Amino acid sequence: MLFLVATPIGNLSDVSFRAIETLKEVDLIIAEDTRHTKILLKHFEIDNKIDSLHSFSKEEKILHFVKILKEGKKIAMVSDAGTPTILDPGYNLVKRCYENNVSVCSIPGACALTVALSASPFPKDKFLFLGFLPVKKGRQTIFETIVNSKNTVVFYESKHRIERTLKTLAEKIDENRLICVARELTKIHEEFTVLPAKDIITKKLPFTIKGEFVVMLAPSNFELKYE
C-alpha cells in the first residue's frame, strides 16, 4: 500500500495524528528532499527508513518502489510541504501503482490550494485550479483562460513573478474585478489581500513581496458590499 502523507505548509501543528502514525508504521518513507523531511521526522521523533523520489528521479527508481509495494510492504510518500502530487512529485508513482494493482491511500492535511481558497471571499462551489502558470510557452493562452473563466480561478505563484503576473492579469480584466492574494499561509506572516484590478495597476502592492503566494481571481460578476 502506498500512503500519500500530507505534511504542514508552514505550521508544524497542522500535521495530523494519522500522518505521524503512518510515518512511524510504514516500512519505508520516500521524500522529495530527504534532508528537509528528516527535520520534520526528528521534530516528531520518527525514526524510520527514508529514501528519495523527486521530479528528476529515473523510471527505474519508481519501478524499484513499485516492486517493494508489490511484495506487500507499506511506503509513505511525502513532499517538502503540503499534499504530495499536487504540484509536487509522486504522480508517476501513483500511476504506476494503479497499473500494478497496488492500493493508494491519501492521508489528508494541508494543501495551499484549499487553505487559500477556503478563507478567500470568492465562490468555491466551482473553481478552476491552474497550478503554476507557464513562464513562457502558453502564458498568453493561459491568461485568456483565466480572464474568461466563469468560476473562481486559483493558481500558485512565486515571489519572483508575483508582481509581474498580477500586473499582467490586472491589465486584462475589468478594473473593478477582484483579486485575492494569499501569502505565507499558516505561518506568522499569513495575510489575505483582496483588491480590485485598478489598485494593482495604479498603486504599490500593499503586501511584502516575500514568501509563498496563492492568487485567486473572482468571477467577473462577483462583488463585495463593504459596510
Smallest distance, Å, CB 79 to ligand SAM? 5
| The only residue of 78, 82, 181, 200 in contact with ligand SAM, by rule CB under 6 A | 82
What's the min distance (Å) between Cβ of 183 and ligand SAM? 6
Instruction: Specify which residues 183 forms β-bridges with.
Output: 191, 213
State the nearest-atom distance from the C-beta of 171 to ligand SAM, in Å.
22
- Asked if residues 19 and 9 have their Cβ atoms less than 8 Å apart, the reply is no
Q: Measure the CA–CA gap between 51 and 82, rounded to whole angstroms.
A: 18
The single residue among 3, 4, 5, 10 that binds ligand SAM, judged by CB under 6 A, is 10
Q: Which is nearer to ligand SAM, 30 or 68 (CB)?
A: 30
CA–CA separation, 194 vs 211, rounded Å?
Answer: 18
Contact mark string toward ligand SAM, 90..129, x via CB under 6 A: ---------------------xxx----------------
User: Side chain identity at 94, as an amino acid letter?
Assistant: V
Per DSSP, the residues of 40-106 read HHHHTT----EEE--TT--HHHHHHHHHHHHTT--EEEE-SSBSTTSSSS-HHHHHHHHHTT--EEE
Residues at the interface with ligand SAM (CB under 6 A)? 9-10, 79, 81-83, 86-88, 111-113, 156-158, 182, 184-187, 212-214
